Structure 1
Amino acid sequence: MTVTIKQEEALKKYIIPLSKEEFNLLEQNILKDGCLDPLRVWVNQKGEHVLVDGHNRLNICEKHGIDFEIKQMSFESLEDAKIWMANNQLGRRNLTPDQVSYYRGLKYESLKKNNKGYAQVKSAGQNEPWTYEVLAEEFKVSASTIKRDAKFAKALDKIGQTNAALKYDILSGATKVKKADIMLFADIDDYKKLNFKNEADLYNKANRLRNKMLTEIEGQLKQTEIDRIERAKEELQATDPMFNTKDARINRIKGQILSAMNKAIQHNDAKAFQELEGLIKKLHTVLFDD
């Protein structure tokens, strides 16, 4: 029975294309010895045979009409298939640091979707560790590294949606772009407007975005300082009459005069009479000397 193998778009990003030299070498080996390793497929809920490993081998075999074997894999969902593919790629020995970071980020996102942000509960009553904590322990890196990996993977995929070749050139090392520049695009929602053309275009847009972000931060800092000064003025006006308006100071002194007068009359308080004299002089100053 002939099996139709489907290459799922959502899974293709888990495969880093071979360089031209690597692909040619693989093609020569398959032409010489046949396809020695079986292709791995997942039979999904629709009964489709979805390819999860062997994309380059499949393309070569179909191109030259070469027979191949398949091995079925069992996954409960597409996210489980993604996690397996990320693990499979991370098991390779020849990954670059950026490729390792990318696949850790992809694995993090798939695990987070599967477990709603958490790993599975270890035991009854025990708090669930966050997914990034589980992966940090697995890969012996910090939790912040896993979070940066996720941001890196997210940004690279957005770049890939407008320029797939540029994404894979970055991952293969053919194009040298700073990781920090790439991560700037992780939170851009309307990535289609970016429309990356090439490495220079990405660099220029990253530079403009960084400058824009710095301007916004400076504006926020300035506004924070303005707000702090205004709050300080309000506090001073509430406690010190010299910062109040003339009418406010007059009303404040009037209240103090009435209070001192009542105290002096009701309690026959000499000190209150002295305070009253001082308040009347103060009122005179405000009324006629300001």
Structure 2
Amino acid sequence: MSNINNDIVERIVVMDELKEFISPLTKEEFNQLKENLISEGCREPLMVWEKSDQDYILVDGHNRYKICQEFDISFQVKSLKFDNIDQAKFWIINNQLGRRNLNPDQMSYYRGLKYESIKKKRGGYEFVESVGQNGPPTYTKLAQEFNVSESTIKRDAKFARGLSFIGKSNPKLKSKILSGETKIKKSDIILFSDIDEKEIKSIKNEADLYNKASQIRNRILTDIEKKLKEDKEDKIKRAQEELKSRDVLFANQMERINRIKGAIISAINRAIQNKDIKAMNELKGLIEKLEDLLFGD
């Protein structure tokens, strides 16, 4: 740890890419922090990534730094070494998870970020400890670490991805959601985890977020209904083909005549009642079959 001086103050850099990983404070929390700093000074050091002799990237203490700058409050700094920005992000995530005052959404967000970060570090392979070594899935290890279910970790990851996408379009809205100032259902946030980022660019406020979530939910329901209908139609088609094959193999002539007779009556009814052109075409084919059975050689 070293005492801060004017030269280093001028070289402290706040990176938006790292700042977005910092839990936002509510207005009450920020005002209380400001009062404490003004009356008691800045007791804890700001953590910086000493990227080079020229740059000190802030990784912890963003709110204190802002207040100290505004009211000319002196502070100390502690330097950390990272090989790259991903290491810095991982440190921030773990540091935030160590806070005692995280609300449930913030805890979920950071667990999800840690899950995604570990997967990325492993090259996307969630079932290996390292190359060539088998190990438990990432979500299993994190579930044990945080004493939650594996499904919770998976939902946390989707929640974190959804919030990150929203943050790219509207950082303030993301902060308000995490701080609890805006009440948005977690299930709505999760809907944004697997969609094209272009769809999120139109989100300007909570109303836009709610409307877009409704659109996504309706689209998902429509896709499910369409798939169920296709599956049902496919099963009906396969059943009809099976009946036709059995008709050819096992039915004697009179049985086949009676079946065709029943099918003809059904086709006539559908053609008349529904004006169904398909039924008319089916009727022609059935009459030809009946003709073959009755007058064929």
The TM-score normalised by the length of structure 2 is 0.76
Q: Which residue of 1 aligns with 2:28?
A: 21
What is the Cα deviation at residue 53 of structure 1? 0.5
Give the Cα–Cα distance (whole angstroms) in 2 for the partners of residues 90 and 163 of structure 1. 24
1:189 and 2:196 are equivalent in the alignment: yes
Judged with a 3 Å threshold, the aligned counterparts in structure 2 of structure 1 residues 239 and 126 are, in CA distance, closer, same or farther, namely same
Q: Which residue of 1 aligns with 2:94?
A: 87
Give the Cα–Cα distance (whole angstroms) in 1 for the partners of residues 53 and 195 of structure 2. 34
1:214 and 2:250 are equivalent in the alignment: no
Determine helix, strand or coil for the equivalent of 1:14. Answer: coil
State the one-letter code of the partner of 1:63. Answer: E
Residues 254-273 of structure 1 deviation map (CA, whole Å, 9 limit, x = unaligned): xxxxxxxxxxxxxxxxxxxx
Q: Which residue of 1 aligns with 2:66?
A: 59
Q: Which residue of 2 aligns with 1:152?
A: 159
1:49 and 2:49 are equivalent in the alignment: no
What is the Cα deviation at residue 236 of structure 1? 3.5
What is the Cα deviation at residue 223 of structure 1? 0.6
1:240 and 2:257 are equivalent in the alignment: no
What is the Cα deviation at residue 284 of structure 1? 9.4
State the one-letter code of the partner of 1:68. Answer: F
What is the Cα deviation at residue 15 of structure 1? 0.9
Cα pair 1:79 1:113 within 8 Å, conserved: no
Q: Which residue of 2 aligns with 1:106?
A: 113
State the one-letter code of the partner of 1:109. Answer: E
Give the Cα–Cα distance (whole angstroms) in 2 for the partners of residues 108 and 193 of structure 1. 23
Give the Cα–Cα distance (whole angstroms) in 1 for the partners of residues 248 and 292 of structure 2. 13
1:72 and 2:76 are equivalent in the alignment: no
What is the Cα deviation at residue 98 of structure 1? 0.8
Q: Which residue of 1 aligns with 2:280?
A: none
Give the Cα–Cα distance (whole angstroms) in 1 for the partners of residues 97 and 51 of structure 2. 23
Runs (5+) with no aligned partner, structure 2? 251-255, 257-289
Determine helix, strand or coil for the equivalent of 1:50. Answer: strand
Judged with a 3 Å threshold, the aligned counterparts in structure 2 of structure 1 residues 41 and 214 are, in CA distance, closer, same or farther, namely same
Runs of 4+ off more than 6 Å? none
- Superposition RMSD in Å: 2.8
Judged with a 3 Å threshold, the aligned counterparts in structure 2 of structure 1 residues 140 and 44 are, in CA distance, closer, same or farther, namely same
Task: Tell me the percent identity.
Answer: 53
Q: Which residue of 2 aligns with 1:121?
A: 129
Q: Which residue of 2 aligns with 1:31?
A: 38
Q: Which residue of 2 aligns with 1:10?
A: 17
Judged with a 3 Å threshold, the aligned counterparts in structure 2 of structure 1 residues 119 and 47 are, in CA distance, closer, same or farther, namely farther
What is the Cα deviation at residue 45 of structure 1? 6.7
Name whichever of 213-222 and 1-10 sits farther off: 1-10
Q: Look at both structures and tell me which one has the larger radius of gyration over its CA atoms.
A: 1
Give the Cα–Cα distance (whole angstroms) in 2 for the partners of residues 26 and 158 of structure 1. 29
Give the Cα–Cα distance (whole angstroms) in 2 for the partners of residues 211 and 131 of structure 1. 32
Cα pair 1:27 1:60 within 8 Å, conserved: yes
Runs (5+) with no aligned partner, structure 1? 244-248, 250-282
The TM-score normalised by the length of structure 1 is 0.77
